[in-house]
Amino acid sequence: MKLKPNEAVALIIHRDGGEPPNYLVTIRKGEARFDGAHDFRFTHFQESVLNLQHEKDLHTAIEQAISAIREIEP
């Protein structure tokens, strides 16, 4: 994966309300900027780079996401 100018990658981890919990671990890529309050905002279409849904083992899902992030080319 290669980032274009003004693109960013975000790792999102979402826990559902069930017991035992399931997790959505996703990586999204898209054009982004920082606003006047220095908050990060995607400004245009986001592309899914990785989606791991309904994961029970959060640490394994995070390791898979980190592996995908390491594929970003300079």
Calpha distance 47→50 (Å, rounded): 9
Q: Which amino acid is at 34?
A: F
- Of the candidates 5, 4, 9, which has an alpha carbon nearest to the alpha carbon of residue 42? 9
Structure letter (DSSP) for residue 4 = P
> Whole-prediction pTM value?
0.80
Residue boundaries of the structural domains of the chain: 1-43
The 10s digit of each residue's pLDDT in 24-71 is 999 999 999 888 787 888 887 789 999 988 889 999 999 999 999 999
- Across 4-19, b (16+ Cβ under 10 Å) vs e yields eeeebbeeeeeeeeee
